Amino acid sequence: MLKHELIYHHDSARLFERIAHQPWAMFLDSGQAINSATGKAGSQYGRYDIIVAEPFITLVTQGNITTITQKGELEVSEEDPFLLLKNCLKPYKTPKADVLFAGGAVGYFAYDLARRVEKLPSNAHPVAELPEMMIGIYDWAVLVDHREQRSWLLSYGFAAKTNEKWPMLQALFDAPFEASLKKEKFQVKTPVASNLPELQYSRAFAKVKAYITEGDCYQVNLAQRFSVEVAGDSWKMYQKLREINPAPFMAFMQLPLNAHENFQVLSDSPERFLQTNGDHVETRPIKGTRPRSGDAEQDLFYSKELLTSVKDKAENLMIVDLLRNDLSKTCMIGSVKVSQLFQLQSFANVHHLVSIIVGKLKPEKTSVDMLRACFPGGSITGAPKLRAMQIIDELEPHRRGIYCGAIGYISFDGDMDTNIAIRTAVICKNELSFYAGGGIVADSDVQKEYTETLDKASSFTTTTKFFTRP
């Protein structure tokens, strides 16, 4: 393995800035920027950042077709995208590494990739011609460990180009930090609009409650889509987002839409979907939300109210049971256990209830097998999962796209960490779009649920205000 220690920067954006505008550049960000509201370090739950660019293999799935590009050649397949990814990684399998990530697959799996896993209706409208999966396989990476305050440039040297470029990569990331000279600004040009404003949300909510009453389901995660016209450099928007609302599973991706233009993914997710470390498996579903308050007494009231809420605990428990079942598909019998229930985690804009479920991966299964078996995450569908997804497609006007899918990495040694792509925006063709939703159960109150979606959307609505014309 090639390994070169770099100067540690508390803010890894200083390292990513050097490649931020390259197609296929990705930043898996643990939210360690300084929070502008408090003046303190960012997310208390994050540790590692991963920076990659220049993949030597790419996989892009659109509809039934996956295009694999490597060594300048294209291969087109209708095979299961998860199987294709698994096969692409297989030749590069390495023993368990002594670092978190030194190369492997990084990218996104959109919520709509579920159509390759389950049979779903097609009522909701696609909002953009974005791929359902975009994965790069990277032969070099920058890894930042904030706990140890150390950084490295790493590579297994699988691609000939990496060995040739290694001195240039060292020089690039060793160079003293200089603020970007790129003068293009970011601008929000219109008010934020929703595809499910309050009256329409109330009607969809009533239909969900009717389905629950009729016994179709126990819980459905109903979301609304927000959109706004924007212009300029999306990286600047992301930098402000991570400053005001740091979260442990953030990401910024610069991805090619076509030969002439890119689109960007900005994720501010607080939720882990699936992590594998050797044969150890973990998922951390979030269910239960209260807003934060600038008043310390009111903020404490919100957190205590959440911790003692019978409704929120019941909602969380439904999803815990669903995920125990999903993990059991690829974990050893008897190994799936709930290690923590109803843990309070507080972020910049909301309090959440988080539970932790662990298991032991079967020897014949891989992280990709695990991902496919659990996809999409149960915390953002409802229960039972398939029926909830059918109802979501009926009641939400637009497909979710990347929202509620997963973003993360699968290393060459087989380890994986992915988020649930909530609090996640896409900037494409001068439109910024993002979603916010919540789980509806039998005793849900429409006004409280609607307000909760606005609380969850606040990380983006607040950030857009910094770039809105006066």
302 contacts: CB under 8 Å, gap ≥ 6: 290, 291, 292, 293, 351
Angle value at C-alpha 219, between 216 and 223, nearest 5 degrees: 115
Catalytic residue (choose from 17, 132, 271, 452): 271
- How far apart are alpha carbons 407 and 442 in whole angstroms? 31
DSSP 60-89: EEETTEEEEEETTEEEEE-S-HHHHHHHHH
User: What phi and psi values does residue 212 have, to the nearest 5 degrees?
Assistant: -65, -45
Residue 287 annotated in active site: yes
Among 344, 336, 342, which Cα is nearest to 292's? 344
Q: Using only C-alpha atoms, what is the Rg of the chain?
A: 21
Q: For residue 259, what is the DSSP state?
A: S
- What is the amino acid identity at position 407? I
Among 86, 76, 139, which Cα is nearest to 109's? 86
Q: For residue 121, what is the DSSP state?
A: -
Note the residue count of the chain: 470
Catalytic residue (choose from 287, 313, 385, 456): 287
Question: Catalytic positions, please?
Answer: 271, 287
